[in-house]
Chain A
Amino acid sequence: MSDLSPSLADPQKEANEPSSPVARFGPDTPLLMDCGLVLDRWQIAYQTYGALNADKSNAVLVCHALTGDQYVASRNPVTGKGGWWTAMIGPGKPIDTDRFFVICANVIGGCTGTTGPASTNPKTGTPWGLSFPVVTIRDMVRAQAALIDHLSIETLFCVAGGSMGGMQVLQWVASYPGRVFAALPLATGAKHSAQNIAFHEVGRQAVMADPDWRQGRYLEEGTRPSKGLSVARMGAHITYLSEQALHRKFGRKLQDREAPTFSFDADFQVESYLRHQGVSFVERFDANSYLYVTRAMDYFDLAADHDGVLARAFTGTKTRFCVASFTSDWLFPTADSRAIVHALNAAGASVSFVELESDKGHDAFLLEEPNLFATTRGFISAAARARGI
C-alpha cells in the first residue's frame, strides 16, 4: 500500500481563526438547532466579492457543496488552490462580480472557520468533537440567514448552489420565502435518496473504523483518522464521476509500469488517482466535520417538513427558479430535479428546468460546462432585469 498519511495543516487553527472574515454571535443571537440544542456562542466564516449596491439589492449568496468552503472565487489558504467555482463566479463570469455582491459562507458543522466539531467549545476549552450538536441543512441555512442579517441585507437577489449547496438553496426559499428573489439549485434533490445515504454510511464507517479516530477525540489525543477519511473520500469521489468519465480518463491503463505487479499496489491509473484524491482531501478537511455534513445531507427531506407534500414548501413563492441537472449524474439524477420542478409547478412558481448534456457525472456543475454557463448567465441576467439591477 502507498502511504495514506500526508503532512497536515493545523485544522484547529483554521477552524477557530480562519484566514477570512468571521461574523461572531453571542447569547443574544443564539443558533437554535433542529436537534433541539442551542449554540449560544458561535461564528460563521465567509468571503465576499464585488460591491453591495446602494439599495442592497444585488447580493448573491453562493452555497457550497459537501466538502466545500467559503473560498468560492479566491485562493484557499490551506490548499493554496484557487476558488472552487471560479469558472462560474468572477468579473464578466455568469455570476458577474462586477454587477453582483457575491457572498459565500462556510456551513455550520464545517471546518474552515464556521463553528463545527473541530472548533473549540467555549465551555470546555477543548474541541467539540462528537459533543457538537447534529447539524441539518435547515441549521446551515439558519446560520447563513444570521450572517445575511449581520450584513444588513434584507433580500438576496439570488441564492445559488449545487449538490448540498442546492439543498440549501431550496431550504432558503422554504425557510425565508420573502428573502430570495431568484434561486438556482443545480444537480440536487429535495431529499437524499436511500442510495446516497448508503454511500455516506460507508464513508462514515470508514472514518470511524480508523483506530486513530479515537471515538472522535483525535484532536485532543494528537492523532488523525487519515486512512479512514481518505478511504471515505475515495468512495465518495467515485459517486461524483461517471462511468464514461472514468473510462475516458483512465480506462484500464497501468500506472508507471508495463505489466501488472501481481500485488495490491496501485497498478491501475484509476487507483493512484483515487489514492491521490483521498490523501489530498485529508489535508484540508476535518474527519468529524465529514461525519456531520454527510449526516446533514442524509436528514434532508424538504417534503417531510411539509406533510410529505413538496409543493407546500413553496406555497405562494414569488421566487424565480432555474433548476438544472446533468445527464450522467447518478448521485442526483434528473428525476430528482424533475420532482422539484413538479412541486414548483404545483405551487405556481416561475421555474425553468433543463437537463444538460454532460458525461462528467455529478461534478459537472463545478467544471467547464458551456451549456451550464449559458443557462446561468441567461437566467441571472433576466432576473436582474426583472429586479431592476
Chain B
Amino acid sequence: MTLPDPQTSRIDLKLVAEMVQPDTRVLDVGCGDGALLALLAETRGVDARGIELSREGVAGCVARGLSVIQGDADTDLVDYPDDSFDYVILSQTIQATRNPRLVLEQMLRIGRHAIVSFPNFGHWRMRSQVFFQGRMPVTDALPYTWWDTPNIHFCTIRDFVALCDLIGARMERAVALDAAGGKVRVNAPWWFWNLFGAQAVFLLKRG
C-alpha cells in the first residue's frame, strides 16, 4: 500500500509508515517534531505515542495534540511493560543512542514489531570521504562535523544485520534507499545494499 507524500522531505518516514498496519498501537522513539506520529495518526489511524529527548520537540508535539513524553531512549524504555505496543519505531535515532543493542532489545520486548531506520555508514560516499579525503564524512543525510554531532554509534547495513542476528531478531522486511531516495534493487545482495544504500529501513520481529 502506498501513502501520500508526507509534508516532510524525509522519504524514510513514508516508508516506515507503510510498514505499519492500520489501527495499531505505535511508539515512536526519538520522535523529534512529531512528523512521523502525525503522518501515522492521519493516514493509518494508529494510536500513536512518542518519546523525545528535546524539550522543544516535546513542547511542539504536545502543542500539535500528539501524545509525547520527554524522555531518553537509553534509560526510559525499561519502564514500558512487555508487549505494550504493536510497533516500536526508531527512526534515524539509533546512531544517537548510547547503547544501541539494549535499545533494540527493549524495542523488541515492548513491541511485537520494531521498525528501525538509520543512515548507512557503509554507503560509498561515506567510504570515499574517509578513503580519499581522510576525513569523517559530512553528507546531506548526516550534516554534522565529528566534533558537533549527536551521533555516537554509526553502523553499516551489514553491522546492523549482524546485531539483529546477535540478539535473535527476525527480519520481516528490509529496504535500502539510495541517495536520491529511490529503493535499492530488492534482489540485490547485501554487499550491494551496503555500498549503495544511503539509508535503510528494517521491520523486525522477536526471534
**Chain A interface (Cβ < 8 Å from any Cβ of B):** 320, 322, 341-342, 345-346, 348, 350-357, 371, 374-375, 377-379, 381-383, 385
Contact = CB atoms under 8 A, between A and B. Distances in A.
B62 A322 contact: yes
Interface string B44-86: 0001010000010011011111111111000000011100100
Interface string B10-54: 000000000000000000000000000000000000010100000
B30 to A, nearest CB: 15
B62 A345 contact: no
A335 to B, nearest CB: 13
Given A345-B80, A345-B84, A350-B49, A355 B62 contact: no
A342 B59 contact: no
A378 B64 CA distance: 6
Given A374-B59, A375-B59, A385-B65, A354 B70 contact: yes
Given A345-B69, A352-B68, A374 B63 contact: yes
B47 A350 contact: yes
Nearest to A379: B62
Contacts of A341: 69, 71
B42 to A, nearest CB: 12
Contact of A351 (B64, B67, B84): B67
Contacts of B84: 345, 348
Main secondary structure of the interface of B (DSSP, over half): mixed
A342 B49 CA distance: 14
Contacts of A320: 67
A378 B47 contact: no
Contacts of A374: 59, 63
Q: How large is the interface on B (under 10, 10 to 19, 20 to 34, 35 or more residues)?
A: 20 to 34
Contact of A357 (B47, B55, B69, B71): B55
A382 B55 contact: no
A352 B67 contact: yes
A353 B79 contact: no
B66 A382 contact: yes
Contacts of A381: 65
The list of the 5 closest CB pairs from A to B, nearest first, reads: A382-B65, A378-B63, A353-B69, A342-B79, A354-B58
Contacts of B61: 352
Interface of B: 47, 49, 55, 58-59, 61-71, 79-81, 84
Contacts of B49: 350-351
Contact of B79 (A346, A356, A377): A346
A353 B59 contact: no
A355 B47 contact: no
Given A350-B67, A354-B68, A378-B64, 18 more contacts: A341-B69, A345-B79, A351-B49, A351-B67, A352-B67, A353-B68, A353-B71, A354-B55, A354-B58, A356-B55, A356-B59, A357-B55, A371-B59, A375-B59, A378-B65, A381-B65, A382-B64, A385-B65
B79 A352 contact: no
Contacts of A345: 69, 79-81, 84
B81 A346 contact: yes
A375 B63 contact: yes
B70 A355 contact: yes
6 contacts: A348-B84, A351-B49, A354-B58, A378-B62, A378-B65, A385-B65
Nearest to A385: B65
A357 B55 CA distance: 8
A348 to B, nearest CB: 6
Contacts of A375: 59, 62-63
Nearest to B47: A350
A354 B59 contact: yes
A371 B62 CA distance: 11
Contacts of B62: 322, 352, 354, 375, 378-379
Nearest to B84: A348
A121 B6 CA distance: 65
A381 B47 CA distance: 17
B69 A351 contact: yes
A354 B65 CA distance: 13
B82 to A, nearest CB: 11
A374 B58 CA distance: 11
Contacts of A351: 49, 67, 69
A43 B7 CA distance: 55
A256 B152 CA distance: 57
A241 to B, nearest CB: 22
